[in-house]
Amino acid sequence: MAHLTATIIAAHGRHYLGQIDGELLHCVTRGKKSDVAVGDRVDIKRTSPNQGVIEAIAERKTLLFRSDQYKSKLLAANVTQMLIVVATEPGFSDDLVSRSLVAAEAAGVTPHIILNKTDVTELLPKVRQRVALYAGLGYPVHEVSVRANPDAARALLEPLLAGQSSIFIGQSGMGKSSLINLLVPDAEIATREISAALDTGKHTTTFTRLYAIDQDTSVIDSPGFQEFGLYHLSEGMLERAFVEFAPHLGKCKFYNCHHLNEPACAVLEAVTSGNIAPIRHDLYRQLVHEASQTIGY
Ligand SMILES: Nc1nc2c(ncn2[C@@H]2O[C@H](COP(=O)(O)OP(=O)(O)OP(=O)(O)O)[C@@H](O)[C@H]2O)c(=O)[nH]1
Ligand SMILES: [Zn+2]
């Protein structure tokens, strides 16, 4: 039968959903391979009217993934930007925001931060102060209230999405689902269709899915996760993923400086002088430590 080119719009275990024009095809990989990600462009061989086998994955523009010392988990392929959703309440984790930023930088994906629930005005000044850290690093911060002012949120974010493939990342309760329902027409219907086609039962929020908005605009919703391991990033990748390190790199006494406790380290001096935030350097230290862990330790 004919070979088809599809976009993977959902993944659940080793089951995938490929979309070709409007049609959905339930796909599996050959053998035990499970290296396909939502957003991948794939060659599919149709095996029945609504089923196929993934024969090949097209070269990816970007690939986002998480990893610990044992395994890695693909998040999404070919995304161009990452929208990190935080809110006035419940409290968000700086650790998760920075890990997301580092993952995006390492993958060549442009990060943006969306601060939702600005209608909770009593908490706004404090949260603005926290988010200022990221704005200060050059990351765009967009303030919205999906509940109190959905029209303004849509007007602000629609142009940001246009022509891009955007992945939304956020801890539980930040309003990510509300945002996606606002920005993606019929998102809930699409999710039900995906669920039915993949037979995932009620677990509609436990899988990553892609909504194609038009020919060159798509939105990917990832399930909330607590851990964002980045064991796959080498020290060299890490030092470049912390964008504020850039002006100091190459200025340490030792050319192979790890920026952890070396004398005359330009990065550590920048932490001391207040040019690099301690919580960011602490995370760098933690990620270098994690990356040095291997099975058997
Ligand atoms: N005050 C306020 N509440 C909001 C706003 N946006 C969403 N919420 C509420 O925040 C709660 C969480 O919203 P969801 O959209 O379910 O959040 P989520 O991030 O998808 O969370 P999970 O479904 O747990 O992953 C809901 O009760 C929403 O009604 C907002 O702009 N202001
Ligand atoms: Zn150094």
**CATH code of residue 40:** 2.40.50.140
Contact 197, 257 (CB under 8 A): no
Ligand 1 centroid to 111 CA: how many Å? 21
Ligand sitting nearest the alpha carbon of 239? 2
Q: Give the residue whose CA is nearest to atom 8 of ligand 1.
A: 175
Q: Give the residue whose CA is nearest to atom 13 of ligand 1.
A: 175
Residue 179 has pLDDT above 60, yes or no: yes
Q: Is residue 50 part of a domain?
A: yes
Q: Is residue 215 part of a domain?
A: yes
Residues 89 and 187 in one domain: yes
Q: Is 86 in the pocket of ligand 1 (CB under 6 A)?
A: no
Q: Is residue 135 part of a domain?
A: yes
> First-to-last CA distance in the chain?
49
Calpha distance 168→206 (Å, rounded): 14
Residues 278 and 168 in one domain: no
Q: Is residue 297 part of a domain?
A: no
Band of pLDDT at residue 285, cut at 50, 70 and 90: very high
Residues 51 and 76 in one domain: no
Q: ipTM value, please give it.
A: 0.95
Residues 272 and 141 in one domain: no
Ligand 1 centroid to 196 CA: how many Å? 25
Domain that holds residue 131: 63-221
Residues 267 and 188 in one domain: no
Q: Is residue 232 part of a domain?
A: no
Which tokens hold the place of 3?
């070979």
Q: Is residue 29 part of a domain?
A: yes
The pTM assigned to this predicted structure is: 0.94
Half-sphere exposure of 251 (CA within 13 A, CB side): 10
- Which of 57, 77, 102 terminates a domain? The answer is 57
Per-residue pLDDT of 4-56, as tens digits, reads 899 999 988 888 999 998 899 999 998 777 789 999 999 999 999 889 999 99
Residues 97 and 201 in one domain: yes
178 among annotated binding-site residues? yes
Burial 7-32 (b: 16+ CB within 10 A, else e): bbbbbbeebbbbbeeeebbbbbbeee
Q: Is 145 in the pocket of ligand 1 (CB under 6 A)?
A: yes
Residues 158 and 257 in one domain: no
Q: Is 170 in the pocket of ligand 1 (CB under 6 A)?
A: yes
| pLDDT score at 203 | 55
Query: Collapsing DSSP states into helix, strand and coil, what is residue 44?
Result: strand
252 among annotated binding-site residues? yes
Residues 154 and 282 in one domain: no
CA 7 to chain CA centroid, nearest Å: 18
Residue 57 has pLDDT above 50, yes or no: yes
E strands, 146-255, are 165-170, 209-214, 217-221
Does residue 90 have a cis peptide bond before it, meaning omega lies within 30 degrees of 0?
Answer: yes
Q: Is 209 in the pocket of ligand 1 (CB under 6 A)?
A: no
Question: Number of structural domains, the chain?
Answer: 3
What are the two backbone dihedrals, phi and then psi, of residue 12, each rounded to the nearest 5 degrees? -145, 105
Kindly report the CATH number assigned to the domain that includes residue 164: 3.40.50.300
Residues 137 and 207 in one domain: yes
Residues 206 and 70 in one domain: yes
Residues 127 and 94 in one domain: yes
Q: Is 120 in the pocket of ligand 1 (CB under 6 A)?
A: yes
Q: Is residue 152 part of a domain?
A: yes
Percent of the chain with pLDDT over 70: 95
Q: Which of 45-49, 71-75, 105-109 has the lowest mean pLDDT?
A: 71-75
Ligand 1 centroid to 144 CA: how many Å? 12
Half-sphere exposure of 140 (CA within 13 A, CB side): 10
119 among annotated binding-site residues? yes
- Which of 221, 254, 270 terminates a domain? The answer is 221
Q: Is residue 248 part of a domain?
A: yes
Residues 103 and 26 in one domain: no
